[in-house]
Structure 1
Amino acid sequence: MAEHGIHTIDTGFVRPRFDAAYLVVENGRGAFIDCGTNFAVPRMLDALGSAGITPADVDWLILTHVHLDHAGGAGELIAQLPNAKLVVHPRGARHMVDPSVLWAGASAVYGEAVMEQTYGRLRPIPAERVIEAVDGHVVDLAGRPLSCIDTPGHAKHHLTVYDERANICFTGDVFGLSYRDFDTAQGPFILPTTSPVQFDPEALHASIERLIALRPEAMYLTHYGRVEAVERLATDLHTQIDAMVALARAAHGQPDRHAALMESLTDLYATRAEAHGWNRGRSSLRQLLGMDIELNAQGLEVWLDR
């Protein structure tokens, strides 16, 4: 039985236990939180069957933000959910109604072929099915309030969903990344994600503090799953945000700034992982975190240049 009717769905993006979406079920009605890419849609629909509800029983798809590993499949999924509305940060709404800018921006980085293969084409969502969730907006799931909290820092269009009934937060990327591969006797290992192009360290610190003030018993991360010991993890995130900013400043002006930053970030996470009791070594860490280190380096560089 899923605790508080919360089901974790592995979207299958990149590797197992890398990218999660969630289904919350209350009195036979459902709300999805994030949805992965187009290729995750069958998994999302399968989760409904496992939870004993149908696509017609889903009232909401709430997006934490519109980065494609969270929202790429929103158009395809909504098309399968006859009664659902999409709930999204006001800054992200237009990209769901007309995803062309989102597609063009990502294609400029990855190329069209990789985009098609990784995410699939983005399907527009009719404007009348999109609800803009300003700070404090409450989604009513069959009498169960799901509060949308404006949490910038990773992206300006980021919200966190606070589920008062379960006393937990669905944090998207604002409360960092914590892959189960790094769990030790000391519990989960966590690191922040800056990701291009809207990293803002002050805003990220403030957003983390705002969530901790709710005193939630757990956070549900997109990457990946439920983590507890939230006070300790928040402290770890704050420490690393400051450390990453310092590394970015130190790399600034170096001939190959990107390579220098990749190396220093790898050192930071390897040292912390080892102190956390994780002893699988640097090359294993690079294998698991390579993409995240690359994105963190890029995010820090965009912030430096700004």
Structure 2
Amino acid sequence: MKEVEHLGSGIWAIDSGYLRPRMDAIHLIVQDGRAALVESGTTHSLPRVLAALAEIGIAPECVDWLLLTHVHLDHAGGAGALLQVLPNAKLVVHPRGARHMIEPSKLWAGTLAVYGEAFAREAYGELVPAPTGRVVEATDGLVIDLAGRRIEVLDAPGHARHHVCYFDTQSRGWFTGDAFGLSYRETDADARAFVFPATTPVQFDPAAMHATIDAMMARAPGSMVLTHYSRVTDLPRLAADLHRLIDAFVAIAEAAENVADELQLGWIRSGLEALLRREAVEQGWGVQGDAAVAVYACDLDLNAQGLQIWLKSRH
């Protein structure tokens, strides 16, 4: 895939540049000369977004909406900076996340706790507050009008309590953030995509994640457009795989419940890696063994942390 890829139906995928190529996508929806961005990427993504708009022929003032699925910084860290150069855009974000976009100090503190200051600053840059008057709360059922194109909001917990997904009625595709897992293009084989859950800290809820997947599938969508990374189809198979793997993740965490605290995270991480290696073989991924682990290395670390926090939160 190119850094800017046309997916059809007036939708483009833009590589945000986060960590490595084809890890983190921003999507642009264009309708009759007006546009919406789904996700902002990080503050470092700003030049890529502006270059993509110029390449596609959309002036910054023609972007009406910046739609965030949730406020984890690979999805939302650049939102405030983007609003400074998109003069007419409104920022749409879950009510639980809106205050963190307006005053990001607690969000930044949480990021430092997970990643450490050196990595956080290198990966995400400085957070810019969003102006209160330009923030719209993405309540369940909200309809966003993009030049007559209807985009509907679904409250979508499971990955995080402040997560929403957006249903584009024209393409019949969901913009899923992390609610439909991770599907990196390196793993594709013969145009067949594969998926792996995202249980990033700190609000993983397996029952809610199952319910969110079912709610999206109930609309009989034609595609899921993932932040990590972009569009997938063959959705009944992928949804079934996600349900199965979420349960497998939970089983790995529960098996570590009585492991000593200092060993527990490594135990869970090793279990996830073993599962990923088996999945790559059994499903015939386009990369195998250490190469498959390398693609998901960051996600394995974060998934293990999220599962450990979930395990402890049950008590």
What is the TM-score of this pair, normalised by structure 1? 0.98
Q: What is the DSSP-based 3-state SS (H/G/I as helix, E as strand, rest coil) of the residue aligned with 1:216?
A: coil
For residue 261 of structure 1, report the CA deviation from its aligned partner. 1.0
Question: 2:149 corresponds to which residue?
Answer: 144
Match of 1:108 among 89, 113, 124: 113
Match of 2:271 among 260, 264, 269: 264
CA contact (8 A) 2:142 2:152 kept: yes
The alpha-carbon distance between structure 1 residues 279 and 140, as it changes in their structure 2 partners (threshold 3 A), is: closer
- 2:194 is aligned with 1:189: yes
String of CA shifts for 1:87-126, please: whole Å, max 9, x gaps: 0010100000000000011112222232221101100011
Q: Please say which of residues 265-274 and 151-160 is displaced more in the overlay.
A: 265-274
For residue 288 of structure 1, report the CA deviation from its aligned partner. 1.1
Question: 2:213 corresponds to which residue?
Answer: 208
Counterpart amino acid of 2:219? L
Tell me how far apart the structure 2 counterparts of residues 284 and 71 of structure 1 sit (CA, whole Å): 29
Tell me how far apart the structure 2 counterparts of residues 29 and 189 of structure 1 sit (CA, whole Å): 33
Tell me how far apart the structure 2 counterparts of residues 157 and 240 of structure 1 sit (CA, whole Å): 22
Match of 1:45 among 23, 43, 50: 50
Superposition pairs of residues 111-190 of structure 1, within 5 angstroms: 111-185=116-190, 187-190=192-195
String of CA shifts for 1:138-176, please: whole Å, max 9, x gaps: 110001011111000000000000000110000000000
For residue 55 of structure 1, report the CA deviation from its aligned partner. 0.2
- 2:247 is aligned with 1:242: yes
Tell me how far apart the structure 1 counterparts of residues 291 and 31 of structure 2 sit (CA, whole Å): 41
What is the TM-score of this pair, normalised by structure 2? 0.95
Question: 1:63 corresponds to which residue?
Answer: 68
- 2:306 is aligned with 1:299: yes
Tell me how far apart the structure 1 counterparts of residues 309 and 91 of structure 2 sit (CA, whole Å): 30
Tell me how far apart the structure 1 counterparts of residues 287 and 75 of structure 2 sit (CA, whole Å): 29
For residue 258 of structure 1, report the CA deviation from its aligned partner. 1.2
Counterpart amino acid of 1:264? G
Percent identical residues: 51
For residue 2 of structure 1, report the CA deviation from its aligned partner. 4.9
Q: What is the DSSP-based 3-state SS (H/G/I as helix, E as strand, rest coil) of the residue aligned with 2:162?
A: coil
String of CA shifts for 1:21-53, please: whole Å, max 9, x gaps: 100000100100001001111111111112211
CA contact (8 A) 2:36 2:65 kept: yes
Q: What is the DSSP-based 3-state SS (H/G/I as helix, E as strand, rest coil) of the residue aligned with 1:121?
A: coil
Q: Which runs of 4+ in 1 moved over 3 A?
A: none
Any unmatched runs of 5+ in structure 2?
1-5
Any unmatched runs of 5+ in structure 1?
none
For residue 186 of structure 1, report the CA deviation from its aligned partner. 6.9
Q: Please say which of residues 177-186 and 162-171 is displaced more in the overlay.
A: 177-186
String of CA shifts for 1:179-229, please: whole Å, max 9, x gaps: 001001371110100100000000000000000001111110000011000
- 2:77 is aligned with 1:72: yes
Give the paired residue count.
306
Alignment RMSD, CA only?
1.1
The alpha-carbon distance between structure 1 residues 166 and 281, as it changes in their structure 2 partners (threshold 3 A), is: closer
Q: What is the DSSP-based 3-state SS (H/G/I as helix, E as strand, rest coil) of the residue aligned with 1:166?
A: coil
Tell me how far apart the structure 2 counterparts of residues 150 and 280 of structure 1 sit (CA, whole Å): 34
